[in-house]
Structure 1
């Protein structure tokens, strides 16, 4: 079998199986670092073994078994004891996603990945650590990717992850979905995990591809499980609605050549109408609960876009108002930047530019490429192409994703030739 075929199969398996392998190993060993180390070793072995023996029929089972065997070897060398070895041996009875002989919690949720999410989101951990740890262990994002998602230095994020794992170990935080009466206190952190997981898939912070489909699918899968688990929580329904409304447009965000396509240029007839309809229904159900929250508001913003038959029919005034409401719940610079875009589209680019200028003076988004990119787009729309070109140049100094870089380069060329 050729090297490219095997490398592609291993990459696909990583996207689909990493979280399951790590989550299962954490359950049976209780050692987060060992689980990640053994999973990494299994994927490394796959590159050689699959080239020699062929790609297995069930890659996930092969990877889980290989990682289990590696864990057994490590535990034997460290003489952890027969009890721990018996725990690891449980994997030998079922190499799938659920061990029917395991009864570690009373939630009825038979999914190690969801157990992992709730463990990471224990209230004893700071909210940033909860989200970051789950993105690292469940989705396999690198420390650098998570750091960019949080707009913090990589070294800071690395220390945050180390401290979170140590806290789980020292505090004896259980690996389980909590009982129903404890679910509400975990909801915010869990929803934040799923939201950032989807965001990283929908607009990758780095790499050649803008969209990482596997992360989007994993986030939606987890959101559906949460909605089933907590059907009366409007923010859970709001989050699922938000993800579906965004995901409905995913296939039109890049063209056949992998180039970014802006929202106003996307083929709206190619949007997934089933996802749009499901998202709209979920949003309506959530809003009827009478307890608005940030995910419901963001879903309402997404609905404004997906229900407009053409870009020109988009109700930007309504979107600007919704962003103003969102800022009450999430007083962040990124929300203010999005509101600046909406104001610029609803009124005049100069109105948006005034808000952008305030953000620039604050310095809150100094390293965020979308700040100068937004300024550039508003300047371009107002006909100030020379100034727009300078702003695009600044954005290009900060952008990490290859597809976004090529888009900004195209816009820069347009401004220079105007």
Structure 2
């Protein structure tokens, strides 16, 4: 509490210098009263509760003349709560803010839709910002919220995995971590470059864990949805190459832990996901990350057969095949929505075939006169993997 008071005291004395930086929207009150992150979140959620679960009603409310004014005030209040403690103990304060949001998200609420609308409201970030270089962002307001989301993601994984019991029969109690699922949905409905930035951040963050990877290996036990969105993002980042060995190991463990993880947003859908995942979010991959990273995982598996490394790529390949074999269960679950999906598009298959043809020209000694692969060669492994993926 002392940190909060000192931060507020310093901000009051420097009010004129700070206001243009943090209140670039509609002008707020001359003297904004002290407000906590929890209070700001509660106010935003109350505002979002007007929408109920009706998308049409939400659109009508957004068109009302008072909406923008109220939205601006709530946004300024939340920003005030964030910067109020920023003068002393910056690192600890950011962690406290992230934990306040995590605790808020984890409270069981009847209106899951309004809860996510609150989450999306506080982390609304324009598409045009440079997420490859956060410090170059044009507004510290957006930079602060993006960094807070990164902190929340890291903390959410750590806290969720800390409560796990190493017993697969009991893991269902931890399957639906609300914070991590909200982050997963947020990644899917926002511009893909934001999802890519988050995926890069979280991998780099856990690279420095001891041992490397840390709690990230357990993520499939607490949020298979977030696993799926991270796989999709990493798949696009490393679309034309192989990802780092640690990342492949993490994904392999996820698929071994939960074979459905790759397709989980489709298999274990919910009204909240369906409210936001309209058809364009399934099929418009120019702007949004794919609903699954299947095509890239297949490509990695085939490329691994060409690598001469000490690690055993067969474990990853077998886990992938096990995952693909759950696809019929997934397709039965989504029923008529099948036509909206592009799980392994033809253009991706043609691209991969072209890549294999180029490789075969470099390894002609491994081919017979009729173009078939010789037994016990790398090319035989490559072709077998391609066939496995297609038949599964």
Q: TM-score, normalised by structure 2?
A: 0.36
The alignment's TM-score, normalised by the length of structure 1, stands at 0.34
